[in-house]
Amino acid sequence: MAEPEGSLKLDNPSGSYRAETAVGPSAGKISIRNVSKTYDPDGANVKAVDNCSLEIGAGEFCVVVGPSGCGKTTLLNAIAGFHSISSGEIYLDDQLLCSKTRKAEPGADRIVVFQNGALFPWYTVLENVICGPVVQGKSSSKDAKAAAAELLGQFGLSEIIHNYPGEISSGMRRRVEIARAMISNPKVLLLDEPFRAMDALTKSVMHKYLLDVFDKTRKTVFFITHDLEEAIFLADKVVVSTTRPARIKKVIEVDLPRPRDFLVLSTERYRELKMEAIDAVHEEALKAFEAGERELA
Amino acid sequence: MGVQQNTAVSGKKSNLRKLRKTVLSKTTYRGILAVIIFFICWEASSRLHFPIVGEIPPPSSVLKAMQKIVGDAGFWKSWLVSFKRVFSGFIVAQIIGIPLGLLMGINRIFRELMFPGIEILRPIPPLAWVPTAVIFWPTAEMSMTFVTFLGAFFTVVLNIIGGARSIDVRYLRAAYSLGSRRRDIFFRIVLPATLPSIFVGMAVGMGITWEVVVAAEMIASRSGLGFLTWQSYVAGNYPVIVIGMISIGVAGFLSSSLIRLIGNFFTPWRKVI
C-alpha cells in the first residue's frame, strides 16, 4: 500500500481506512466481501463466519437475523474493530476497513450499542453522553454538556440526566446509550441485540425510538437480532444467517413504507415478508438447537 | 411520548422518615436489650465469682478506672502514638500499593514479573517481620511503621489487581468505540472501575493494620495503646487492660468508618446497586 494512511480516496480501494477521516458523500456504505473468521481457542478450529458477502448502502437499515451464537456478532465485531478476520475484506465507503492482514481500529465513526448495555456506571447519564465528544477532543466539557442535555431532552430524558445508570430503567438506559452513540455523529451505528434483555412492551417502545432516530438522521445501521419480527419491522434489508458457521442464507429487501409504526405489523405486505423468511429462520433455529449451540449470556 | 418516568426519588424527608423507622424499630429495641443483658451478666459473673469468667474485671471497676484515666494525658498520648503509626504505615502502603496494584492489574508482563515475589512474601505475617524490622530500620518508629505498612500493603495490592482485572470488557470496548485513547481508557474506565476495589482494600487493610500495630507495640515498643494494654497486665492493673482493649476496638472502628465514608463519597454510584 503505497498510499499514505488517512487520505480519503474514494476511488482507491487499497487506500487504508482511518477513523479520523471526514464524513464523505456516501457516508456509511459497508461492503463485506468473502469474509471468513476462524477462532482458535485451545487448538479447536472454530469457524464462526464462512465466506459472507454483503453490501449495505449508505443510510440503510440492515438487520442480520439468526440463531444465537451463530457468528453474527463476529461480523459486527469485525466492523467495529474488536476482532480481526481470517480472510476477505470489509470496505467502508470504498476504503479498506479490515482484511486478513489488517485489523480495523475501533473508532467513533462506527459506534456500538451493546447487548446488556455498556453505560459507564460511574458516570451520570449526562457525563456518559459527553464521553464521545470529549475524548475525541471535538468539544470542551461545558459545550458537550449543553449539547448532550439538548439531545437527551429530545429523547425525553431531561429529568434523569443527573442520575446514575444504576438508578434508571433498562429502557431509559438503552435510550441513553443510543444518545451517547448518536451525539458523536457516527457513520455507522452498530447494535448487537440491544433489546434482547427487555420485555416485549419495553421493546416495542424502544423500536419506535430507534426508528425515530433513524428517520431523523438516516445513519447506516447494522443491527443484530434473533427475532425475525423485530428484524422485518425495523429493517430496509433483512439478512438471514445460518447457524455456525454463519453464512448468508437469504437476503430480503423490506419495502414497507417509512415512517413505520406498530400498525404495519398487521398489514398484508408484512405478513408476506415474514412468510418469505420464516422457513429459512426456523430451519436454522432447529439446526442450532440440535447442535446444542450455546446462547450468548 | 407521555411515558410515566419512574425515577429514583430520594428526598431529604423520606430519608429522615426511613432513619426514624430504623432507629425506633423493634430490631433496635431488641439489640439494646441484648447489650443491657450482656453487661448485667458480665457484672454478675464477677460479683458472684463465676469460674474463669469471674476473673475479668467487671464493668463497674472498668468504669471507675476509666473516670481516672480519661484525665491522664499519657492515656491520650498512647492513642495519638498508635494512630500516628497506623496512619503513617497505612498511607505509605497506599502510596506504593495503589500505583503498583494498578500497574499490575492492567499490564500483564509487569504482573507476571512482580506477582511471584509478592506471593512469596505475602504469607509471612507482618508480626513475624518485627525482629527483622527492628534490626534493619534505624529507628524504632520506622520499624513500627514498616510493620504496619506490610499489614496494609498486600491487601491493597491484591484487591486492586482483582478489581482491575475484572473490569467488564464491554466497558473497554464501548470506550474504544467512542474514540478513546489509552490515556482516556485509564482515567475514565480503569480508574473509576477499580475505585471500589481500592476502597475495599483500604478498609480491610486498615483493620489489619490496627491488629498489627497493637501486637507490634506489645512486643517491641514502650508507647501506644498496645503497650498500654500489655503494661497494665504486667503491672497488675487489670481494669486498664479492658480499657486498652476497648480503646483499640473503638480506634479501629473509627478508622475503618472514616475509610468507608471517604470511599462512599468517592464512589457515589455504588449507593444505588
Whether B76 is covered by a domain: the verdict is yes
Pair B52, B80 in one domain: no
pLDDT at A46: 81
**Which one, of B30, B60, B68, B63, lies nearest residue B43 by Cα?**
B60
Same domain, B115 and B234: yes
Q: Of A110, A135, A159, A170, which to mutate for an interface test with B (greatest number of B Cβ within 10 Å)?
A: A135
Q: Is B9 on the interface with A (CB under 8 A)?
A: no
Q: A255-282: per-residue pLDDT in tens?
A: 888 888 888 888 999 999 999 888 888 8
Does residue B3 fall inside a structural domain? Answer: no
**Does residue B262 sit within a domain?**
yes
Of A80, A135, A163, the CB nearest to B180: A135
- Amino acid found at A102: R
**What is d(CA A168, CA A94) in angstroms, rounded to the nearest whole number?**
41
Is the same domain home to B20 and B154?
no
ipTM: 0.83
The residue of chain A nearest to residue B194, with distances taken between CA atoms, is A122
Q: Are A222 and A79 in contact (CB under 8 A)?
A: yes
> Tell me, what's the pLDDT at B4?
43
Q: Which of A42, A53, A32, A145 is nearest to A96 (CA)?
A: A32
| Whether residue B102 sits in one domain with residue B20 | no
Least confident range of A26-30, A89-93, B174-178 = A26-30
For residue B36, being part of any structural domain is answered with yes
Interval A210-257: pLDDT, tens: 998 898 888 999 999 989 999 999 999 999 998 878 888 889 999 888
Quick one: B109 and B226 in the same domain?
A: yes
CATH class, A59-82+104-290 region = alpha beta
| Dihedral-angle region of residue A218 (phi above 0 means left; psi in -120 to 50 means alpha; beta otherwise) | left
Both B83 and B206 in one domain: the answer is yes
Same domain, B102 and B235: yes
Partners of A107 on chain B (C-beta within 8 Å) are 176-177, 179
Report the side by side order of strands in the sheet with A46-56. A46-56, A30-39, A87-92, A95-99
Average pLDDT, chain A: 84
Is A113 in contact with A213 (CB distance < 8 Å)? no
What is the count of structural domains for chain B?
Answer: 2
- Predicted confidence (pLDDT) at residue B7 exceeds the cutoff of 50: no
Q: Is the peptide bond before B51 cis (omega within 30 degrees of 0)?
A: no
B268/A164 Cβ within 8 A: yes
How far apart are alpha carbons A105 and A97 in whole angstroms? Answer: 9
% pLDDT > 90, chain B: 43
Question: Which of A21-35, A167-181, B216-230, B251-265 shows the lowest per-residue confidence on average (mean pLDDT)?
Answer: A21-35
- Residue of B3, B171, B176 lying closest to A120 (CB–CB): B171
Residue B217 lies in a domain: yes
Q: Do A166 and B173 touch (CB under 8 A)?
A: no
Q: What chain B residue is nearest to A181 in terms of C-alpha separation?
A: B178
One domain, residues B247 and B216: yes
Give the whole-number percent of chain B exceeding pLDDT 70: 94
For residue A176, pLDDT over 90 is answered with yes
Tell whether B12 is within 8 A of chain A (Cβ): no
Confidence class for position A11, pLDDT limits 50, 70, 90: very low
User: Hey, how many other C-beta atoms are within 10 angstroms of the C-beta on A175?
Assistant: 23
To the nearest 10°, report the CA torsion of B46, B49, B55, B59.
Answer: 0
Is residue A14 over pLDDT 60?
no
- What's the grid cell of residue A34? 468473502
In a domain, B6, yes or no: no
Per the structure, the complete domain to which residue B233 belongs is given by 64-272
B139 and B39 within one domain: no
Which residues in chain A have Cβ-Cβ distances shorter than 8 Å to B268? 164
Cβ-Cβ contacts under 8 Å, A166 against chain B: 269, 272-273
Whole-number pLDDT of residue A99: 87
Instruction: Decide if B190 is inside a domain.
Output: yes
Residue B192's pLDDT is what?
A: 94
Rounded distance, CA A32 to CA A56, Å? 8
Which pLDDT belongs to residue A149?
A: 92
Residue A78 CA to chain centroid, in angstroms? 11
Q: Does B191 touch chain A (CB under 8 A)?
A: no
Top mean-pLDDT range of B1-15, B27-41, B48-62: B27-41
Higher pLDDT, A81 or A287: A81
Model-wide pTM > 0.95: no
A124 CB-contact burial (10 Å; exposed 0-12 / middle 13-18 / buried 19+):
buried
